[in-house]
Amino acid sequence: MIASAGIGNWHVGNPPDRRSIKVAAANGIDISRQRARQVEPQDFERFDLVVAMDRSNLARLQALRPQHATAGLHLFAELAFGTQDDVPDPYYGETKDFERVYSMLFSGCSAVVSKFE
């Protein structure tokens, strides 16, 4: 199972940003029915892998992670590309910023999947 969650609770229950929906749809993916949820300590048992998009969220996830957690916790770019780069947050940008992040995530997810095949 693949899921998405945020550290904060300010968007819980809301659909993705309209620009995310637009970019995903342009790439053949319908995310319009997704709703935001907040990370829960149980996520570290429910999932095998928890991935942070940036170092700030990685640190917050490390603090939230229970001691007995079974899930691996990684920075996305480190897992995908072997770098310590943050995935930029396009929220305050334009549609082109969402397109850049989509491209980065697509290539990174492809790299991660190939590691598990």
pLDDT at 57: 97
Query: Residue 96: what pLDDT?
Result: 98
User: Which positions are annotated as active-site residues?
Assistant: 89
Buried b (16+ CB within 10 A) or exposed e, 34-62: eebbebeeebbeebeebbbbbeebbeebe
In the chain, where are the structural domains located? 18-116
pLDDT in tens, 82-107: 999 999 999 999 999 999 999 999 99
Whether the predicted pLDDT of 30 surpasses 90: yes
Global confidence as pTM: 0.90
Mean pLDDT of the chain: 95
- Tell me phi and psi for residue 50, to 5 degrees: -120, 130
pLDDT of residue 117: 79
How large a percentage of the chain has pLDDT more than 90?
Answer: 94
Identify the three-state secondary structure at position 22. helix
18-116, which class in CATH? alpha beta
